[in-house]
Amino acid sequence: MAQTLRDLLPEALLTRSLDGLDLPTAEAWAGVPASDRTALLADAEAQLATAWPVLPASDYARFHREGDRERYETPYFARRRRIVTSALAALLTGEERWVADVVDGIWLVCDELTWTIPAHASTAIARGEALPRPGDRDLDLFCAETGGLLAWVDALLALDAGTRQRIATEVDRRVLTPFLEIRDWPWLIRFTNNWNPWIHSNLTACALLIERDPSRRAKVMSLVIDGLDVFLDSYPDDGGCDEGASYWTRAGGAVADTLALLYDASGGKLDGFRHPKLRPIAAYLPAMHIDGRWYVNFADCPAQLDDPSVAYPLYRLGLHTGEPSALRHARLVKRRDDPLVPRIPSMGRVVGTLLEPGLRDDAEGTQPRTTWLPDTEVLVARSHRLLVALKGGHNAESHNHNDVGSFIIAVDGVPRVVDLGVGSYTRQTFSADRYQIFTMQSDYHNLPQINGLSQPAGREFHARGMSADVGETRVSGRLDLAGAYPAEAGIRSWRRDLMMSRSVEITDTWELQDTPSSLVWHLVVNGPVAVEEGTVRVGDLTIAYDDELALTVGPLPLTDPRLTAVWGEQVTRLVFSARSLTPAGTTTMTFSGVESP
């Protein structure tokens, strides 16, 4: 069986098989459901009534001077989102005013000195400068995404010759030529995460929709395939994404974007979906789904996902790999009432989500009851009204939090014992000071603090021997947390056992070198809290704990807008302290759904 994309898509086949994409017909646009049409046109009208966002150099410089990303990125993405919505309005109505608005946006974007956002402007950052210079070539996520957007707009709309030439020139200068001439991109050789497939998916759109030279187009696509093999070679066989569900949409999801374009441009002759890792990748996002917008969210992943356009790459994965959970979940995602054009839009995805008839079918089938990812070390189990997710792994994962052994529990589809996710990105988020941010620290995950010490960052701090046993009526998981803490914590072993039937039990059993100075357990919980002797009620979840633990309940105020959008202005932190300090011991917490009267 072929093990790489290069095996499946040899260069000789690639060169002779790219026949060009069949673009949507007028009949296809006329068939867009009325609800989608109405929502998109209302969105476009609201944006048309406002001035185009301005991108001052002073706002670009704020990242260098203050670490602020939002001031520049907010209008930057708003420009691109408006181009997408106005282009869709033009395609849905045929009205020239929408084309005129798109052209205004295209010229504004083409006038930008750089398409690279300040946090990714590595050339200027290396010079220690706040602003880019003409000639800087930084092919980041959003430079590539901008190129892909303009390529799609050029292909779909009847633009004037001057605008089309401007698009072709700028996409070639900023995206295609740098990609061909520079082969040591950090996202290709230094680290392997969502950057690789996300950028390659947009390079594919640029090559197939803009590049007119067949040999050059084939060269770009050959390099894309080699690059995606670098990504897939590093990906675990179980299909798990250590960056979390939201980044899966730009990791495995972006692989699907690329492969769908190749499949469609070759009439099915270029079929990379046969790669053996693609079906497990397709199953990942459905397995992480809790209910509604809620997902299991380790690392920098938010707990809620609100981008319906993810439905299209997920659907294509399910369709071509035969993974039924992906097809079902894609249809569920499409039915959410979030804006179809997200804050960071990908034009090809939005078009596919709008026009794919298969996404209009009923979401039939059932969700996987239990998922055990032995390579990624994530266990997700469902029983009765409860869901529990437990992670192992290590503390140098992509978008890492120090969270080895942490867990999430949801009741009736709502997380109650939670992972907060991450706040708004700033310069600190990806700096040496990352772990000064409280959301990254193990003390703000559902983990113990041992002898006053928390988990540090680093690949050497990891789970030991994580395993799972999945039965018909009972699921269990086990791992040793000792290796996730520094040697100074004096841990011989710290075994965490999960047992799930109709309730969830988390049992910690430890053996330390000496009598500890302190043993503390933290839980971060979402919902109204009521305390009784030996139990805590959090919304519709009851937590029973041992008498040997003393409980302190404290509010955890949230001010970051990215966190408050999910959790509101406050969650609660439960701190359990051992009354009796012994070098060996065990304690159990039991989590149960509150039964309705």
pLDDT by residue (tens digit) across 232-261? 999 999 999 999 999 999 999 999 999 999
Among the listed residues 549, 556, 524, 515, the one whose alpha carbon sits nearest the alpha carbon of residue 535: 549
5-360: CATH superfamily: Chondroitin AC/alginate lyase (1.50.10.100)
Residue with tokens 């609800």: 35
Average the pLDDT over 485-495 and give the result.
Answer: 98
Closest Cα partner for 31 from 78, 92, 98? 92
pLDDT at 364: 73
CA 178 – CA 169 distance, rounded (Å): 13
Q: For 17-31, write each residue's pLDDT tens digit.
A: 888 899 999 999 999
pLDDT range class, residue 104, cuts 50, 70, 90: very high
CA distance 496 to 588: 10
Average predicted confidence (pLDDT) for the chain: 96
pLDDT surpassing 60 at residue 497? yes
Structure tokens at 523: 């839980």
pLDDT at 2: 61
pLDDT number for residue 597 = 54
Closest CA to 528 of 588, 594, 439, 590: 594
pLDDT digits (tens, 9 = 90+) for 138-182: 999 999 999 999 999 999 999 999 999 999 999 999 999 999 999
Count of C-beta atoms within a 10 Å radius of residue 36 = 18
pTM of the model: 0.96
Considering the four listed CATH numbers 1.10.8.640, 2.60.40.10, 2.70.98.70, 1.20.58.220, the one that applies to the domain covering 370-593 is 2.70.98.70
pLDDT value, residue 37: 97
Which percentage of the chain shows pLDDT scores above 70?
99
pLDDT of 464 reads 97
Q: What is the pLDDT of residue 531?
A: 96
Structure confidence at residue 35 as a pLDDT band (50, 70, 90): very high
Tell me the C-alpha to C-alpha distance, in Å, between residue 438 and each of 250, 269, 560, 591.
26, 50, 12, 25
Per-residue pLDDT band at 137 (split at 50, 70, 90): very high
Q: What is the pLDDT of residues 186-226, one digit of tens each?
A: 999 988 899 999 999 999 999 999 999 999 999 999 999 99
Q: What are the sequence ranges of the domains in the chain?
A: 5-360, 370-593
